[in-house]
């Protein structure tokens, strides 16, 4: 199995000028599949079209940061789109959905959008790709209340070992990306080293969460140097960082994390089936 980037916003405007070149570079680096999560109703079509254009996969959902601008009937649009695309093998999850308690949002509203999207995912028997920034315990609460058993991925996980285990107990995998490459991320790197091998999937969140080799410090940005743009081509190097923390062979780690991705998002398997 090849590298799988389980979270990559390849449809983002940051890639408009060179999207095909970015995807070609990732493929040359060994990244055979990117999962492209939508973030709002007006990005559903772009996520799907991008996945089809490059042989990738996609998810449909309303990101918590987009709930302030979302209309209530966007949830109905999501329901309709999920039903209409049920036969599309490249639709693999509902996402990116969840909660964000880092940004000042209308919490009751984002929580309602999460509850409704969990209901839709359950009805369509799809896993979910979860945004859990500073909200792990509350997301877990809503998963339990919904009796959600479809699994999926806790994207950009940065919680405690106990919280990690709670997600694993619910059938989820944990997404690790650029944040784990920073030496100062002690707890995250410890988790990457100690979690069971079948707990982790790899992601870039491109163009966001750049690994340390792309990061530009605030003082340099203030002087006009732009932040490094993350891309799916960085996934193998991120993966090698995690493999190094675990003392794992890189080739074996590639195989393991690909299997993990297929377990988290079962519809991916059809994209790798031999004709």
Q: What residues are designated binding site for a divalent metal cation?
A: 7, 9, 96, 131, 155, 205
Token readout for 130 is 């979860």
Token readout for 30 is 């060994």
Residues 6+ apart with CB under 8 A from 50: 10, 11, 19, 36, 56, 58
- In whole angstroms, give the CA distance from residue 116 to residue 146: 10
Residue 132: how many CA atoms within 13 Å on its side-chain side?
28
Can you tell me whether residue 237 is helix, strand or coil?
A: helix
- In whole angstroms, give the CA distance from residue 197 to residue 180: 16
Q: Give the burial class of 56: count Cβ atoms within 10 A of its Cβ; 0-12 exposed, 13-18 middle, 19 or more buried.
A: buried
Q: Which residues are annotated as a binding site?
A: 7, 9, 96, 131, 155, 205
Q: DSSP characters for 199-215?
A: GEEE---TTSS--GGG-
């Amino acid at each position: 199995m090849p590298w799988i980037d389980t979270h990559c916003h390849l449809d983002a405007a940051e890639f408009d000028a060179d999207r095909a070149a970015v995807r070609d570079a990732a493929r040359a680096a060994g990244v055979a599949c990117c999962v492209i999560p939508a973030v709002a109703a007006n990005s559903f079509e772009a996520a799907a079209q991008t996945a089809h254009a490059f042989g990738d996969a996609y998810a449909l959902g309303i990101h918590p940061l987009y709930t302030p601008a979302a209309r209530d009937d966007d949830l109905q649009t999501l329901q309709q789109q999920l039903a209409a695309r049920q036969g599309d093998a490249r639709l693999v999850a509902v996402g990116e959905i969840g909660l964000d308690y880092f940004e000042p949002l209308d919490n009751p509203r984002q929580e309602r959008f999460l509850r409704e999207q969990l209901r839709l995912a359950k009805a369509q028997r799809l896993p979910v790709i979860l945004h859990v920034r500073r909200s792990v315990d509350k997301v877990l609460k809503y998963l339990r209340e919904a009796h959600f058993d479809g699994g999926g991925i806790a994207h950009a996980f940065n919680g405690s070992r106990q919280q990690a285990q709670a997600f694993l107990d619910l059938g989820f995998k944990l997404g690790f990306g650029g944040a784990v490459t920073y030496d100062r991320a002690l707890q995250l790197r410890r988790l990457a080293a100690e979690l069971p091998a079948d707990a982790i999937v790899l992601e870039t969140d491109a163009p966001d969460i750049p690994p340390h080799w792309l990061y530009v410090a605030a003082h340099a940005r203030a002087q006009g140097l732009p932040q490094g743009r993350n891309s799916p081509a960085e996934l193998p190097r991120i993966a090698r960082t995690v493999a190094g923390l675990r003392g794992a062979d890189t080739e074996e780690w590639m195989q393991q994390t690909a299997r993990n991705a297929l377990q988290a998002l079962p519809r991916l398997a059809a994209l790798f089936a031999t004709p």
